[in-house]
Amino acid sequence: MERIFVVCALLLVSTLSRAADPYDGTWRTKLTCPAKGSTQGYIWLIPSFIQGSQFRGEHGTAGEPGYLLIVGKISADGNAKLSANGLVASRKYARGIFTTKGDEYSYDIKAHFNSTDGTGTKGAGLGIVGRECTFEFTKQETPTGLTP
């Protein structure tokens, strides 16, 4: 009888911990940066994952131009300040007089998540050189019987 009680208690704890993290799962992040001046715009689709309310999205290959890593914690109310770190893909998509392919960059993203979607913005920086980019987060369906 004790064994059945322990198994039931473990299942209950597992279910409650999943309910505590409604954002957990596989997500798709759409990053849209519009053209500004002579700098071309672009759209990236970034595979992302949330576990324990910790966000992680990665585009490209680490250490190579065009790489972008986005990480951060989502609070219980859905608000998040994510950090993005990357390497410039090409001069034609980057702002700044001295920016070249492969240069490092970083910025913060102010975001808000719901259980199935979310939005975010990257500030325009100094305004003169920066541009406002937007983020759309969409939770992906997990096939029945599989866990992310």
Cα 46 to Cα 88: distance, rounded to the nearest angstrom: 16
Give the mean model confidence (pLDDT) for residues 132-137: 95
Q: pLDDT (tens digit, 9 = 90+) per residue, 21-76?
A: 889 999 999 999 999 888 899 999 999 999 999 999 999 999 999 999 999 999 99
pLDDT attached to residue 37: 85
3-state secondary structure of 58: strand
More confident residue, 127 or 36: 36
pLDDT attached to residue 6: 38
**Tokens matching residue 40:** 């071309």
With CA atoms as reference, report the closest residue to 135 among 48, 33, 53.
33
Q: Write down the CATH number for the domain with range 23-139.
A: 2.40.160
